[in-house]
Chain A
């Protein structure tokens, strides 16, 4: 099997954000290996990716939610034939819907991501670990019930 190239990893990172912003639930979930672990940007603890996916699906992938991201330069560190680390800054605008039905608009102006990709048995690159954080406090405001999702 050929070594993982930096371009392959950058393409996967772009796919990740494309699937999330276009709310492609199954393709987005497929990005993670079943045993993957995740530090979400606002979480105090790490969690299994499968739990994070349930929450992201409910809060970010519904009809009243919205995700837009601008990615900075993606650094890639290959670690052998099957493993590579992607790290990059990003600016994220999201409108999320909580279980209560209330909607919140958040800006993450200085987001930072680390995603570790591993090639699975079919040769597909998938995320085995993810750490998202923000270098600045995230600003969040509650939206009135009638506001449409913000477009940027």
Chain B
């Protein structure tokens, strides 16, 4: 099996954020191993990536929604033949539609990410563990129509 490389990992990180930003149509859940565990932004406990990916997919930006991610320098530690740890900072600006139909603009300026990738038997890199957090609470404001 091909040894995991930093370039492969960086490519997957950028694909992840392109999906979250609505720039590519790939399925978010396919980025995760079936047994992956994640800590998302404000969750108090870790959860199954499957559940989180379904939830996030529902919240992906639709037509007319603005969403943008900027990823900082990605530090990749190759740990063994088929596992790599990607750690980096990011900023993410997105819109969320609340239950009452109003839109909120959410700006995460000091995001921090750890994503651990493992190459599967099919050769694909998948996230087995993810920890997303922010060093400062996201700024939220009402978005225009």
Q: Which residues of A contact B (CB under 8 A)?
A: 35, 37, 39, 42-46, 72, 75, 77, 79-80, 82-83, 85, 87-89, 110, 112, 114, 116, 118, 128-129, 131, 133-137
Bound together, the chains give a CA A117 to CA B34 distance in angstroms of 21
Q: Does B87 contact A (CB under 8 A)?
A: yes
Q: Does B75 contact A (CB under 8 A)?
A: yes
Q: What DSSP secondary structure best describes chain B's contact surface?
A: strand
Determine if A77 and B77 form an interchain contact, defined as CB atoms under 8 angstroms apart. no
Number of A-B residue pairs at CB separation under 8 A: 96
Bound together, the chains give a CA A134 to CA B135 distance in angstroms of 9
Determine if A131 and B131 form an interchain contact, defined as CB atoms under 8 angstroms apart. yes
Bound together, the chains give a CA A45 to CA B73 distance in angstroms of 10
Chain A residues near B118 (CB-CB < 8 A): 79
Size class of the contact patch on chain B? 20 to 34
Q: Does B79 contact A (CB under 8 A)?
A: yes
Determine if A131 and B112 form an interchain contact, defined as CB atoms under 8 angstroms apart. yes
What are 17 inter-chain pairs, A to B, with CB distance below 8 A?
A: A37-B77, A37-B87, A44-B89, A46-B88, A80-B80, A80-B82, A83-B80, A85-B37, A85-B116, A85-B128, A114-B114, A116-B116, A128-B79, A129-B87, A129-B114, A133-B131, A137-B137
